[in-house]
Amino acid sequence: MIESYLKAGKIVSDIRSEASKMIKDGTLVIDLVNYVESEILKSGAEIAFPCNVSLNEIAAHYTSPANDKLTIKAGDMVKLDLGAMVDGYIADSAVTVIADGNIDENYTQDEINLHEEIQEASAAGLEAAIATARAGVEVSKIGAAVHEAISEYNLNPIFNLTGHSLEQYNLHAGISIPNYDNHDGYILEEGQAIAIEPFATNGEGIVNDAPGHYIFSYMTNKPFRMKSTQRVLKYIQQNHKYVPFSGRWITDEFGERKGAIALKQLSGAMAVYPYAPLREKEGCFVSQKEHTIIVEKEGCTVTTI
Ligand code: MN
Ligand code: MN
């Protein structure tokens, strides 16, 4: 089990480093997403969730739909969040990169300096969390450490996003790791796998649903009158029963029209759960840094370092 967690972590870490180099002016988000997902499969691991690439005020849960034209601009705050599974054991990790290139058309130097501070703040939050994590610690203590580290930059954590426990084939296994002291007295135990993911922002620290659904999870079997919808549901049950999947994977398989209609019907009936992208207020910026760790008696092992 530990070996699988470590193997998944190494795969995610290597792909994260390579993919980060693609984050620059003019890169199509869909090229980045396709690169990450195909590299995970090439490594022999499974994809634990669609590669998320969330820009600027979007904190999480964006992945490209088919034929996505969304393009990264120099100076953009780009969150790359990826996950791989080995025997069902998951590595989940994210990094924020300020896109390389000539910023002049998009941002002032002062704005870029702010972007860099926001980027550093989530990294400092994660570092503080990792220094705090060990068996016997309350999860709220980790949240307090994150909040304190981010506050030193005069920035806010995202209060309504959390890290999470991981179990075999289960990305969100029930325990939440807050990004502030929420007084959750749950105590970490040796051997638990958790993903810690501080977000920092110059906004108020609350994200809300943005339009569109690009990521989905299977929920339950239901009958549908439309044959193509029934077929899509069967396909999801066979291929994506345990961890989130991309709408793009469905439209690639069934065609854009059929796929989109099916996902709409399946979501409407709650046979699948549609995740909305999560965003801060317009004009704000959000950074994220995430590692997966295994809780130890005297600290933790970071699998995605
Ligand atoms: Mn993640
Ligand atoms: Mn996560």
**Helical H segments across the chain, by residue range:** 2-20, 29-42, 109-132, 139-151, 227-239, 247-254, 256-268
Angstrom distances, CA of residue 145 to CA of 94, 112, 130, 140, 160: 19, 26, 9, 9, 16
Question: Is residue 29 classed as helix, strand or coil in its secondary structure?
Answer: helix
Q: Give the closest ligand to the alpha carbon of residue 54.
A: 1
CB 264 within 8 A of CB 290: no
Of the residues 61, 147, 164, 213, only one is catalytic, namely: 164
Domains of the chain: 2-210+277-302 (3.90.230.10), 215-275 (1.10.10.10)
pLDDT one-digit tens code per residue, 36-79 = 999 999 999 999 999 999 999 999 999 999 999 999 999 999 99
Would the pTM count as exceeding 0.95? yes
For residue 277, the 8-state DSSP code is P
What residues have their beta carbon closer than 5 A to ion ligand 2? 92, 195, 197
Helix 227-239 and helix 256-268: axis angle, to 10°? Answer: 80
Q: Looking only at Cα atoms, what is the longest distance across the chain? A: 57
Confidence category of residue 184, pLDDT binned at 50, 70, 90: very high
Please tell me the distance from the alpha carbon of residue 236 to that of residue 238, in angstroms, as a whole number.
Answer: 5
Told to judge if 298 belongs to the known catalytic residues of this protein, a careful annotator would answer no
Look up 81 and say whether it is catalytic.
Answer: yes
Chain-centre distance for alpha carbon 261? 26
Residues 223-255: tens digit of each pLDDT: 999 999 999 999 999 999 999 999 999 999 999
User: What digits encode the pLDDT tens for the residues 84-102?
Assistant: 999 999 999 999 999 999 9
Residues 76, 99: contact at Cβ < 8 Å?
yes
Q: How far is it, in rounded angstroms, from Cα 253 to Cα 241?
A: 16
- Rg over alpha carbons for the chain, rounded to the nearest Å, is 19
Given this model, what pLDDT does residue 207 score?
98
Among candidate residues 147, 213, 290, 291, the one labeled active-site is 290
What ligand has the least distance to the C-alpha of 164? 2
Phi first, then psi: give them for residue 131, nearest 5 degrees. -70, -20
14 is catalytic: no
- Is 37 catalytic? The answer is no
Task: Examine the residue annotation and report whether 296 is marked as an active-site residue of this protein.
Answer: no
Counting beta carbons within 10 angstroms of the beta carbon of residue 224, is it exposed (0 to 12), middle (13 to 18) or buried (19 or more)?
A: middle
* Active-site annotation holder among 68, 92, 120, 280: 92
Catalytic annotation on 213? no
d(CA 258, ligand 1 centre) in Å:
29
Q: What is the DSSP letter of 176?
A: E
Distance 161 CA to ligand 2 centre (A): 10
Say which of 39, 197, 213, 240 is annotated catalytic.
197
Tell how far the Cα of 288 is from the centroid of ligand 1, in angstroms.
Answer: 9
Are the C-beta atoms of residues 303 and 290 closer than 8 Å to each other?
no
